[in-house]
Amino acid sequence: MYRIILIVILLSANSLLSHAQTAPDMNAFGFTLGEKLTIPECPCKIVESKTVGNSGVFSIKHFKGYQYTQGKFEPVASTCFERKDIDKYTVKKSDQLNPLPAFTDGDITIRFAPADAPAKEMCPLQTFDATIGDSKLLAVYSVIYTGDANNIFETLKKKYGTNVSVKSEKIQNYYGATLEYYTAAWGFTNLYVILQSSMHSSLSEQFGKLIIELPPKREAQPEAKRKL
C-alpha cells in the first residue's frame, strides 16, 4: 500500500498520470507482468527438525519438512522460484518427497541460473522478489546498488520515457553529515515503475530498490438504485 500511495502522490503532484502513455513495455527481467508464471519451483529436499517443550527431553517432538536444495548463495541449475513460506509445509509420509501444492497467490523469490541472469546492474543479486496473484505475475522488486542508481535511471528513461516524476530528499545525522537520495516514478494506466536510489536506512546505505508492478484492480461500483 505504501508504494501505491507514494507513486500516486508523486504523479499527482506533476499531473503525469493522465498524460502518460498507455502501452508501456510490460517485460521485466524476461518475464511479462500480467501473464502466468511458468517457471518451475526450485528443487526441494526433506529435512528433519525438532522442538523441545517445557518438559525437556520428554517433550521433544521430531518432524520432517521441506527445504530448498540449493543454499541462498549457491547457483541454481535452472531458473526457478522459491516460496517464502516453505517452512510451513510438512512431510505427510516418512521420507516421501511429494510435490507441494501449486503456488497461485503470494510472494516468492525468483532465482536465475547463470546463463539466464539479466543485466547485473539492474539485478545485481541475480534474484528478485515477486508477487503472484491467480498464478499471474503482478509485481517485481529488485535490490540495486545505490552507486548504480543514476545509470539505471537513464536506462529506465529510455524504456519508459522522460515523463517521470522525481522527488529528491536527504537524511542528516547529529553531526551534520547527510545522505541525498531520490525516488523516480513513472505512471501508466496499466503499470507503475518506481526507482528508489537508496533505502536510506543509514548514511552508509549501499542499496536501493527497483519496483515494477501492476496497479491494484478497482472494484466495480454498484449501480445507483432508481427511486420509485
pLDDT along the chain (228 residues), means of 10: 52 50 86 96 84 55 83 92 90 73 95 93 94 96 95 96 92 76 94 94 87 81 49
Predicted local distance difference test score (pLDDT) of residue 2: 47
Q: How far apart are CA 129 and CA 132, in angstroms?
A: 10
Domain ranges of the chain: 2-42+78-83+99-213
Q: How far apart are CA 135 and CA 34, in angstroms?
A: 9
Q: What is the pTM of this model?
A: 0.80
The maximal CA–CA distance of the chain, rounded, in angstroms, is 74
